[in-house]
Chains A and B, each alone.
Chain A
Amino acid sequence: MTAIAEAVERAEVGFLRDAVPGAVLDAYEFRGDTRIVVAREQIVEVLTALRDSEEFQYNFFSECFGADYLDVDTGGTILGKPHRFEVTYNLLSLHDPATGTGKNTRIFIKVGAPEDDPVVPTVVSVYRGAEFPEREIYDMFGVRFSGHPDLRRILMSDDWVGHPQRKDYPLGGEKVEFPGGKLGPSVEDRVVQHAGESFSGKTASDI
């Protein structure tokens, strides 16, 4: 990933610097795609600006997804990420030849969320379609979305304990050997066990 020089950067970066002052923290390009890291407090304003701008018309909410950058060995983050969690919003300026709207471009907006305060403002008010993906991120990573109308688990059962896509959440019940003689985490290593599995017989309310 290379940080892009001012001369070649996408117009969206400059636009956001003007439209939402202080929001753009970083921008980088990789294989032709631009990813802009913005301050999480200002994500609603950033997405509203991109959606309503005449120049870009990001009218289609493609999706949003989470990622966990925890380095399991050190407890820090990998790749020099400032925060453990990251939510990426994938926006498309969908070109409709019938009405002439949309520029047929795609942009990725990212926000970071620290481990001790994994809260991101919801963007459901900007794009209704964020409802399910945000619920999935909450379910899988435990990142909460403040102001979300219906923030429940979506794929795991309601009484499940823990967030399965976190890097410190074990894949299975037994230690698995990985290259380099490293052992993967196992269920027994966990302080809190899964309520949904029968080995402990506990439910979410017991723990």
Chain B
Amino acid sequence: MSAIDTRELNTAALAEKGVAIDVVDDGTMILNMGPQHPSTHGVLRLVLELDGETIIRATPHMGYVHTGIEKEGEYQTYMKAVTITDRMDYVSAHINNLAYTLSVEKLLDVVIPPRGQYLRVVLSEIQRIASHMVWLGTHALDIGAMTVFFFAFREREKLLDLTEMMSGVRMMPSWIVPGGLRGDTPEGWLERCKQIMDELPYRIDEYETLVDQNPIWRERTQGVGVLAVDECMQLGVSGPTLRGSGVKHDIRKSEPYSSFDQFSFEIPVGKYGDVYDRFQVRMSEMRQSREIVKQAIERMPDGPINVDDRKIVPPPRHELDSSMEAVIHHFKLWTEGFHPPVGEAYVPVESPKGELGFNIISDGSNYPWRMHQRPPSFMNLQALSRMCEGRLIADTVAMIGSIDIVLGEIDR
């Protein structure tokens, strides 16, 4: 890649015609990467200033899939707004639902029964494995290992089948709602889930062997994209990206929600904070998530899944035929919804990308006054330009993959 000889350009003559040419005379070159680049995980655009193949500066540009979800949320009742949270981080919808729901439940000051909490744990951990499978497949694909992509997506499809079996939808279930869940497990669901979890460790080991034993993979990832701990903390980088740098911090342990404190699991951490460490952390996290799902299924309590409050949770269908009150509750709930008290709530959860939480401001009406998501990908993306500076252009794709961004969450 050679720089354009700027001496050939007659900028004065061009300027008279109204063409402004910004001449960079230090031999650097501006390269536009994306938004349609396959390795930018959606529509991220990076403007790279290059000196030969070395990146001097990387500026991310986003907003290409901005759909105003936060604004839209202010025009939905609390119950209806659940469906738009699915669309934020669209590869881990259950966890988005959970984060939103927990904030609304904090406003309402309700706690759901143990079975509901355990089911939420099962769903969110299944979703975490599925999300990490997407990451593994695409990350490996970016670096050049194509086979892993097909295997990882096959495995993910099995996990999405579980979601479909329960809710009827693969990716946008909206199954976790304020007050509980939309329904209990269908017949045979827990057995099917257990069966998939039993074979998962072999699959994860198999996929790990595909890349980890490969000298090219190690060359491309070890020592690349190093993030120091204090840099991560300053930038608000969280989740596996932070843990890859060696900080043992997990919201599931530090601020437990939905009875995560009743499960035993490890927090995997890296040592050097490079792309390889983040890869190892996510691979170990999948194994830990599987442990949590197994524990939850073994100890699954019986009983109701929803709170016993007809002002929040609609009555069961069979009551509508015999009870006038049930009909009234049903009608009021689906037209007007509930009115949380005036206040603000923020409950962080550990999403596959990092700390995810919804800031919900209630003015006492049935619509949220403000619904703001703390998007982990958005904060983690700030680390990308730090990582890129001084590295080779070919490493950029490895670094983008290693922070595991989803543009639906960044742009919202």
* A128 and B235 in contact, given A95-B254, A98-B248 (Cβ under 8 angstroms): yes
Chain B residues with CB below 8 A from A68, complex form = 370
What 1/0 mask marks residues of chain B from 195 to 227 whose CB sits below 8 Å from any chain A CB?
000000000000000000000000000000000
Q: Evaluate whether A35 and B248 lie within 8 angstroms (CB atoms) in the complex, with A61-B236, A156-B66 already known.
A: no
CB distance from A126 to the nearest CB of B (A): 9
- Which A residues touch B231, using CB under 8 A? 128
The answer to whether A88 touches B359 (Cβ under 8 A) is yes
A31 near B236 with CB under 8 A, answer no
Q: Residue-by-residue, is A64-79 near B (CB-CB < 8 Å gives 1, otherwise 0)?
A: 0101110000000011
Q: In this assembly, does A53 line the interface, its C-beta being within 8 Å of a C-beta of chain B?
A: no
A60 and B359 in contact, given A35-B344, A90-B374, A179-B336 (Cβ under 8 angstroms): no
Q: Are A129 and B254 in contact (CB under 8 A)?
A: no
Selected contact of B361 from candidates A67, A98, A129, A155, CB within 8 Å? A67
Q: Which residues of A contact B343 (CB under 8 A)?
A: 1, 30-31
Please report the C-alpha to C-alpha distance between residue A90 and residue B359 in the assembled complex, in whole angstroms.
10
Residues in A neighbouring B372, C-beta threshold 8 A:
65, 67
**Which of B63, B72, B236, B345 contacts A63 (CB under 8 A)?**
B236
B109 contacts chain A at the CB level, 8 A cutoff:
yes
A154: which B residues are within 8 A, CB to CB? Answer: 62-63
Asked if A171 and B75 make an inter-chain contact with CB atoms under 8 angstroms apart, the answer reads yes
Bound form: Cα–Cα A131–B235 in Å:
9
**Residues from chain A with Cβ under 8 Å of B63 in the complex:** 153-157
Does A60 contact B75, Cβ atoms closer than 8 Å? Answer: no
A118 contacts across to B, CB distance below 8 A? none
B71 and A132 contacting across the interface, CB-CB below 8 Å: no
Q: Tell me if B363 counts as interface (CB < 8 A to partner A).
A: yes
Q: A98–B66 contact, CB under 8 A?
A: no
Which partner residue on chain A sits nearest B107 by CB separation?
A: A31
Query: Assuming A129-B379, A132-B382, A155-B66, is B369 touching A62 (CB within 8 A)?
Result: no
How many chain-A residues does the 8 Å CB contact rule pick out? 45
Nearest CB to that of A102 among chain B residues? B249
Whole-angstrom distance from the CB of A93 to the nearest CB of chain B?
10
Is A161 close to B, CB under 8 A? no
Q: In the complex, what residues of B have CB within 8 A of residue A90's CB?
A: 346, 359, 374
Q: Does A59 contact B (CB under 8 A)?
A: yes
B248 contacts A30, C-beta separation under 8 Å: no
**Closest A residue by C-beta to B248:** A97
- Neighbour of B374 across the interface among A33, A62, A69, A79, CB < 8 A: A62
A54 at the interface (CB under 8 A from B): no
Q: How many Å lie between the Cα of A140 and that of B389 in the bound state?
A: 29
Q: Which residues of A contact B308 (CB under 8 A)?
A: none
Q: Given A95-B254, A165-B70, decide whether A78 and B363 contact each other with a Cβ distance below 8 A.
A: yes
* A94 contacts partner chain B, Cβ-Cβ < 8 Å: yes
Pair B62/A155 contact, Cβ less than 8 Å: yes
- Assuming the contacts A35-B344, A90-B374, asked whether A62 and B234 have C-beta atoms less than 8 A apart, the reply is no
Q: Do A132 and B381 touch across chains, with their CB atoms under 8 A apart?
A: yes
Tell whether B78 is near chain A: CB-to-CB under 8 Å: no
CB < 8 Å: which of A33, A59, A69, A94 contacts B346? A33
What separation, in Å, do the CA atoms of A110 and B236 have in the docked complex? Answer: 18
Q: Does B378 contact A (CB under 8 A)?
A: yes
User: Does any Cβ of A come within 8 Å of B411's Cβ?
Assistant: yes
A164 within 8 Å of B (CB atoms): yes
Cα distance, A129 to B363, chains bound together (Å): 29
Q: Which residue of B lies closest to A33 (CB)?
A: B346
Closest to B70 in A: A165
* Bound Cα distance from A24 to B60, whole angstroms: 36
Q: How far is the CB of B386 from chain A (nearest CB, A)?
A: 9
A146 contacts partner chain B, Cβ-Cβ < 8 Å: no
- Minimum distance in angstroms from A191 CB to a CB of chain B: 20
Nearest CB of chain A from residue B336's CB, rounded to whole Å: 7
B344 touches A60 (CB 8 A): no
Task: Decide yes or no whether B188 CB sits under 8 A from chain A.
Answer: no
Rounded to whole angstroms, the CA-CA distance of A165 and B66 in the bound complex is: 13
A132 with B378: CB separation less than 8 A: yes
Q: Which of B354-398 contact A (CB under 8 A)?
A: 355, 359, 361, 363, 369-370, 372, 374, 378-379, 381-382
Q: Tell me if A15 counts as interface (CB < 8 A to partner B).
A: no
State whether A95 touches B71 (Cβ < 8 A): no
> A31 near B235 (CB under 8 angstroms)?
no
* Cα distance A140–B378 in the bound complex, in angstroms: 15
- Separation in Å of the A16 CB from the closest CB of chain B? 19
Which residues of the other chain, B, contact A61 by a CB distance below 8 angstroms? Answer: 233-236
Q: Which of B62, B234, B345 interacts with A129 by CB under 8 Å? A: B234
* Nearest chain A CB to B281 CB, angstrom units: 15
Give A95 to B355 CA distance when docked, in angstroms: 14
Cα A49 to Cα B297 in complex, Å, equals 46
A63 CA to B62 CA, complexed, in Å = 18
- Which residue of chain B is the closest to A29 with respect to CB atoms? B343
Distance in angstroms between the alpha carbons of A60 and B245 in the assembled complex: 14
Residues of B within 8 A of A132 (CB): 378-379, 381-382
On chain B, the residues within 8 Å of A131 by CB distance are: 382
* B249, A30: Cβ atoms closer than 8 Å: no
A1 partner residues in chain B, CB cutoff 8 A: 342-344
Return 5 A-B CB contacts under 8 Å, by A number.
A33-B344, A96-B229, A133-B378, A164-B71, A165-B70
Q: B-contacting residues of A (Cβ < 8 Å)?
A: 1, 30-31, 33, 35, 59-63, 65, 67-69, 78-79, 88, 90, 94-98, 104, 106, 108, 127-129, 131-133, 136, 140, 153-157, 164-165, 171, 176, 179, 184
New contact pairs (13) apart from A35-B344, A104-B254, CB-CB < 8 Å: A33-B346, A61-B235, A65-B374, A69-B369, A78-B363, A90-B346, A128-B382, A133-B378, A153-B63, A155-B62, A157-B63, A164-B71, A176-B75
